[in-house]
Structure formats: structure tokens, C-alpha cells
Chains A and B, each alone.
Chain A
């Protein structure tokens, strides 16, 4: 290795820690990521690319005689080995000058499992070749669509991020996070009908683009009969992707600190939080589990900066399975050690996946829920979801790419799109049925959150606030 050649991330972590001032506390995170993507529209490729990044984050802690601590956080990308010391010095200088950090704690100490066997292995990597078979299949599917008078639009992306965490307290942990997704949107030749399907994948070996296209062709055929319906409250079946987009927003809003301060839907008016309160009469559970099959994610905290409920001091802290809602009752709010202390709640680090379950009796499929519907709406997905009122967690957004009228157990036509105004918390109290959870790709939040398993759900009186002319 010369000063000009990139070092391995493990070498970079050790090098940065070695430069920390004697007796100083330091957290070092080295990230290596690579991504490849393909995008197409109107049956032809539009953009594509491969990218790789490498970054180093140094978190220096300046302990002071009065018991406070200053923190300096500096992240730099593409460093050469001879530049690592500069970053450490920059972080130490920032720490020395910094106002006291409110979340100062002792660094997480190294446990028996915190020096991992796989620490020394090379970081994960992806390349454009991950799409070699898929691209051929997609090319054939695009040509078939062109021949059949349909237009296909979509995106395929695969990435791997390897994170190496080392601390002056002895922690050495790594995590390799693969993530992939395929989104496919089919439209009729005149663009008046539109259907969408998505899939999350870890390696693209389990993606069948032709099958996905076939399912969209069926959906487009459902849209040949159009039914105009007015705004109003409807019995509505949300498929797993729509359920996920609402529940992910609920999860993001379930931080301990803001609830404790009286600033979220999970605050109890007059003080305290709503932990323990029943939110649904059905035995629904919402949980996160780093070991959930197919949705695996980091089982320890990786914090590049502190936030309301995250803390750089918690780097390396174990994040075991957490149940946010259990049998219909709110049971936990996510937190750092610091915010858990403020709220008087157990520490529950945020975890990068989300699963909803309706309990052992929730076995219905989307198809069987359609079959048992006398009259209601079936959605495809939700779009442009934004918070309207944090007090109730009222969200607004749109239906997209297919709203269907179900009558007497069958889809009888396609309905216009709607703008909805609904709260995922309020919605839990109006759940009429919860089906079997399955892995799904959140349509709205898939840029940030791809690991979800959700059930289809039936909601009474879903609030369709107005009609959207979008088709």
C-alpha cells in the first residue's frame, strides 16, 4: 500500500483509530458501496449507470472536566491513506470547539460478539453484470409489450453497502447490506390505463419480469370498464404495498423523544406517552427484526450523526427485535439511550425493516379478501404521501395506477383516482380485516425503505377526500 492507493476499509478504520490523540475517544465508520441501475420508459431504455463510493466518518469525543463532552463529526469521501490523519485532526478540532453534546454517554463497550469473525473479509460489491440475465429478459419483455401495443416504464436497481465500525472502546463490527428493487409500470397504448407492480430483492435471482408483466396485463384488462365514483368514505382493501407506506410513516413518527415532549400523535395529552394504549381492536402487531428472513438488516446501531432519537454515542449498540405494536396495543417507541432516558422508556434502537402481522388467524390472501367483498374499493398503491396534521398523524396522498371497484366478490371495473386524507393511527382502529403478511416493496418510500412485510388490510370508511383527474 502506498499513500496514493486506496486502503481496505478495515485498514482505514484501524489507521484512523491509531491517529486518535492518546486517551481520546473516537468512533470510526468506513462505508463502501456500489450500485448499478437501469431505467426505461415507453419500451426503451432511458438512463443507466454504475457508481461506487467510499467514505470515512470520524466521530471524536472531547470529554471535559465538568462532565460534559463535545463531539466533532467529519465525513469525507474518496480519501487516500495519507489523508486519514487530517480527518481525525479535523474531527478532534471540531470536538474541542463544540458546545456540549446533549446526548453524551459512555461509548458502547465491546462485548464478546463485537469483534466479528467476518471482520477481515473484503467488502461486498455489485456491478452491471448483476443485470446480465435480467436485462435480456427485460429486453424481450419490452419488445413483446411494443408488439402488443402496451408501454412499459420502470426501474431496476441493485446495491451493496458494507459498513465497518470501529471504536476506541474496542468495538469492531461490520454489516453488508444488499438491496435491490424492480418497479414495473404498464400502460395501455393511449396511456389512459396504468398498472404497477414492484418487488424487493437482495440479488435479482428471484425476479421474474415476464411474470410481473403478465400480472400487469391482467390489471390493465380489469380497467377496460371505467366507473366514475365521487369523493366519500369507502370500504377499501389496501394491498401490502399501500399498507406498508402508511405503516412506515407511523413508524417514522414513533420516536420516543417527541412523544415524551408532547409533540406527536403518540403523546398523551397532559404528559407522558401513549405506550400501553390500545390502538386497534384487532390483534395486529407491528415490529422490526434484524433477522427477519428476506429482510435482514444491521443488528446494531450505525449512527453517522446524532438526531432526535439517534446518537453517535450508541454506535455498536445491539438492536434486537422490537415490537412497536403488540396485539393492537402500543408497546414501544424507538429511541437512543439518551432519548429513552428522557422519556423514561426502555432503550429501543430504530431498526431498518418493518413487519406487520394480524396474528395467527390472519391468513387471508388479497384474492380471498376480494372474493369476500360485497362492495368496496381495491387499491394498487399510494403516492405523494405527506403529513397534514401531526396531532392526529393525518396524512394526505393519492391513489395511483389502478383503483378497482369490487362488487359481489369480483372486480367489476376501474375507478377514477382519489386524493385521500387518512391517519394510519386512526386507520388501525377501523381495520375490519387483516390478511397474511408478505414481503412487499413500498411504492412511496422505496427510495429510503425497501425492507417491509405487510398484509393486505380491509378498512372501513377510508376517506377519499376528492377526485383526481390523473389516470
Chain B
């Protein structure tokens, strides 16, 4: 047993994983399946939320079960079950075969999978120090309460919302050639200070991103929460008094705490091959970046280099092996501003001649069939590039944007609109106080082609979300996006107060 094996949750590791897999795979093959894969998952989540420092909700839930996916005569079949017994595994395999037979009436495109090397029996555990489920809920609530109370002491703060989501995901996968036992841990803390005045209200939230780390994230590793919280009330007070922005076109310096979401929506989803091929056409939508534009589309300016990866340490989409047994990889999606790659699963990789999948299959629960889901899609910083002050210095009249808030993009990923947590005017290369009521709106390729400069590695931060939605039935996936600060020229800014009149 290596170190990884030692860290897999003992309760999960103690399940008869291989016996159940044998029962399911044997039944699938007996039923006529040309391919069968099998998962057992236990996803444990705990949510703590406080209102004004008082405990509002504390709940602990899990989602566990097994899943069988088969190909019978070129058609998918999928079934899952909640009981972790050989009988349930066998029945699920038989049901998956039956589903494939019912579904065959509607299938006109044979399912085949790109080959993947056999990786044998492997174990992988994400990078974290302290299992959050080993920390008492009271300790968590007390910490959030102390932070809330500190904020409420400031006269501008009327209310404080505080929450902490924690997930431990244990997953066993086998297709006979690769058997992977994996465990991931992730945390998402959020603290929001709210000011209510006689004329209205406003709020400001922490910029701390969700991360693939353990409890150590809240106690000093990788983020200085006390320092950020100490600044929040004054920033909120300034925002309340800030002038409303005049709509128009402005140069923007965008902090990674905001830019990650723009990357997610306008690049991450647009370079998913299932969207480009139309599989999401009725729901999440398609992509303007269709496959005929591969190696041709000038997506952005020459300083734009985008990678997809499932390997970044502490990344929310990082895995050892995906839900089709494909090893985690890193690859280029956009190079020098040109579209050069997509996110793939095994079926699409073969169908479109990519040879091998780059490992983006993921199912969010044992009850769902894997889909192509997003890798960590990140904007590369410039080696030796400027810090944020250096980027600001290049702006005569503009806006500096931090933190994500509202987001929306169309079903082909052209037209988007984003707001943020904090907006500062830039005048003659320097910050000149906050403004409010700001939204930026653009067409994806116009926006990324207006990117004049990206910051250096010292500005790089891995942002992200727990809840990227896609697919029917709906699935959520955690994903990170790294970005440096970046400079954009002449982007359309709306005044949201005027938009609402």
C-alpha cells in the first residue's frame, strides 16, 4: 500500500469494490455488451451557513451508489443503483443492457471509443493536508461566526452571510483494463458583508476562490482570510458612496478574481467538442468555435495562450484518471490567439480523428452517465510580464475590475455580460477610487482580440467554481481557471442602474 492508498477514505476503501465490479462486468458481457465500465462513488458534502454570526444551517449528506455503462450493438445503455451488493451490481448491468435495447430504436450513429493505454490498478489522491470532515462542525461554525462578528462591528455592515461548502469525492472506476481508485477534497468559503441604508443596499464578497485543498485553506495556507476580511468594510463603505459609472467604452484591467469566469464562459465552454458538434444544442447550447475553424480561428490577440489541463495542483477539475479511464493530461486549446484544440472524451476523440481522448469525461454522481466536462482551462501568464500596477500604468482612462458576480452568455458563446465585486476608476495609470453599477458586455472574439497585455506569473491566481452546469439530466462539475491580470482596450461598459430604469 502506497501513501495514496493510505489516504483513501477507510470506509470507501473497505467496500467490496472489485467483487461488485466483477459481478457487473460479467453480467454486462453476458448480456451482449461489447464495452462495459463500472463505477462506485461516494460523494460526501457538508454545508455550514451562518446569518449575522448565528448558525443558520449545518447539514451533512452523501450520494453513494454504483453505475454501469455499456455499449450494446453500437448503442449506449446506462443504469445505476444505490445498494452496494453483487445482486444490485448485476441487476444494474442487466438494466443497462435493456436500456440500450430500448434506445436502439432512436440511434443512428454507432458508438465506438478511442483507445486508451491500460493503466492497471492505480490510486490517486488530490493535494490537501487536512481532511475537512475530520474537523468538528463546531470549529467551522465558530470560525465563521468570529469572522462574521468582526465584520458586524463596523458601522457600515448591517448583515453578514457566511458559508462553507466541503466535498470529499471517492470514486472507483474499472473497465477491465484500468482500475482507478481516487479521492478528491475541495472547499468553498464565502463571506459577504451587506450594507443597508435608507436609500437602498449593497454588498461586497470575499475574493477567495474555491480550491482543491483541505481545512488548511481556512487557517492560513494559500489565502490570508483575516487580511481580506479586515479590508472588506472600508471597501464596502467606499462602494456605497461611489459615483455611478457613465456608460461607454473603457480600457479594462481585469483581475484574475473576475477574469476566471469570463474564461470559463467564453473559452471553457466554447472549446468543448460536444458543444461544437451539437450534442448540447437543445440545452447548454453549441459553440461558434466549430471544428472547421480548428487551427484557423483568430480567437484572440497574439498574447493569448490557453491551456486545458486536468493536472494542476489544487485544481477543481484535476484528477488522476477521468471517468473513462483516461489519464489526466495538459494540452493547448489556443496558441498565439489561434484555436488549436478541444476538450474531448473517448467517443468524440475517435469520431473526429483526434486519436486519443485528453481525459475530460466526468459524471457528477453514480446516478449520471459521464459527459465531456470542463478541464481546468487557464490563461497563461507572460514570462517576465508586468504586475498589476504595471498593467494599470498603461491605462489613461479605464476601469479595474475585481471579483465575480453576475454572468450570462448566449447559447453559441458570442455575446456575454459580466459584473463584478469591485470597480476602480483608472486615471493616468493610477487607481482613482471606486465606481459602481458597472457591467461589461462584448462578443467573445472581439473581447479576446482586444487583450493587449497579460500580467506576469506574480499576478496569476487559480479561480473557479463548484457548480458548472451542463447536460440533461443536469450535472454539476467543479472546475478551476487560472489567469493573470490582463489589459483589454475599449470594451463596452453598461450602467446597470440605467439598464433597469
Contact = CB atoms under 8 A, between A and B. Distances in A.
26 contacts: A41-B281, A42-B109, A44-B109, A46-B76, A47-B76, A47-B471, A48-B99, A48-B100, A52-B367, A73-B60, A74-B61, A78-B64, A99-B138, A128-B98, A128-B102, A146-B108, A155-B283, A183-B282, A185-B282, A263-B203, A305-B47, A385-B408, A386-B406, A389-B500, A398-B408, A419-B417
Interface string B279-294: 1111101101000000
Nearest to A72: B58
Interface string A406-440: 00000000000101010100100000000000000
A135 B105 contact: yes
A37 B367 CA distance: 11
B56 interface: yes
A89 to B, nearest CB: 13
Interface in A332-389: 383-389
B411 A398 contact: yes
A51 B196 contact: no
Given A102-B51, A419-B415, 12 more contacts: A38-B103, A45-B103, A49-B99, A53-B367, A71-B58, A90-B60, A128-B102, A154-B282, A308-B51, A389-B500, A400-B411, A469-B415
Nearest to B92: A50
Given A270-B198, A389-B500, A469-B414, A76 B61 contact: yes
A94 B58 contact: yes
Contact of A307 (B56, B368, B500): B56
B406 A396 contact: yes
B342 to A, nearest CB: 17
Interface in B136-159: 136-138, 141-142, 145, 158-159
Given A41-B281, A100-B55, A423-B500, A50 B85 contact: no
B60 A75 contact: yes
Interface of B: 47, 49, 51, 54-65, 75-85, 95, 98-100, 102-103, 105-109, 136-138, 141-142, 145, 158-159, 194, 196, 198-203, 278-283, 285-286, 288, 366-369, 371, 406-412, 414-415, 417, 419, 437, 439, 441, 443, 469, 471-474, 492, 494, 496-497, 499-500
B278 A42 contact: yes
Nearest to B101: A128
Contact of A44 (B107, B412, B469): B107
Interface in A267-288: 267, 269-270
A41 B65 contact: no
B474 to A, nearest CB: 4
A468 interface: yes
A25 interface: no
Interface in A291-328: 304-308
A39 B108 CA distance: 13
Nearest to B65: A78
Contacts of B84: 78
B158 A73 contact: no
Contacts of B159: 261, 263
A465 B82 contact: no
A18 interface: no
A204 interface: no
CB-based closest 5 A-B pairs: A49-B78, A75-B61, A153-B282, A262-B196, A51-B367
The A interface is mostly helix, strand or loop, or mixed, namely strand
B415 A468 contact: yes
Given A38-B103, A49-B368, A139-B106, A196 B282 contact: yes
B349 to A, nearest CB: 16
Nearest to A146: B108
A466 interface: yes
Contact of B201 (A51, A135, A391): A391
Contacts of A49: 77-80, 99, 367-369
A221 interface: no
Contacts of A131: 102
Contact of A262 (B47, B201, B286): B201
Nearest to B472: A155
Interface in A62-78: 71-78
A470 B415 contact: yes
B106 A138 contact: yes
A386 B443 contact: no
Residue from A48, A74, A391, A466 with most neighbouring chain B CB atoms (10 Å): A48
Contact of A50 (B79, B142, B411, B441): B79
Contacts of A39: 472
A51 B80 contact: yes
B60 A74 contact: yes
B369 A47 contact: yes
Contacts of A153: 278, 281-282
A54 B85 CA distance: 14
Nearest to A307: B57
Contact of A37 (B82, B106, B417, B473): B473
Nearest to B194: A263
A218 interface: no
Contacts of A94: 58, 60, 137
B500 A419 contact: no
Contact of A388 (B60, B194, B366, B499): B499
Contact of A394 (B49, B60, B496): B496
Contacts of B57: 73, 305-307
B301 to A, nearest CB: 20
Contacts of B282: 41, 153-155, 183-185, 196
B472 A37 contact: yes
Given A77-B63, A97-B138, A263-B159, A47 B371 contact: yes
B99 to A, nearest CB: 5
A442 B492 CA distance: 31
Nearest to B55: A99
A191 interface: yes
B414 to A, nearest CB: 4
A48 B77 contact: yes
A45 B277 CA distance: 14
A45 B410 CA distance: 25
B201 A468 contact: no
Nearest to A49: B78
A269 B196 CA distance: 9
A76 B62 contact: yes
Contacts of A270: 198
Contacts of B496: 388-389, 394, 421
Contacts of B417: 388, 396, 419, 421, 465
Contact of B408 (A392, A397, A469): A397
Given A45-B103, A135-B102, A97 B137 contact: yes
A45 B408 contact: no
A55 B64 CA distance: 9
Interface string A80-96: 00000000001000100
Nearest to A384: B408
B210 to A, nearest CB: 19
A263 B62 contact: no
B95 A50 contact: yes
A191 B99 contact: no
Given A128-B98, A384-B411, A419-B417, A46 B279 contact: yes
Nearest to A36: B99
A190 interface: no
A35 interface: yes
A470 B198 CA distance: 42
A383 B163 CA distance: 28
Contacts of A398: 408, 410-411, 415
Contacts of A124: none
A392 B406 CA distance: 14
A468 B76 contact: no
A157 B406 contact: no
A427 to B, nearest CB: 11
For B159, B199, B410, B469, the residue with the greatest tally of chain A CB atoms inside 10 Å of its CB is B410
Nearest to B497: A389
Nearest to A261: B159
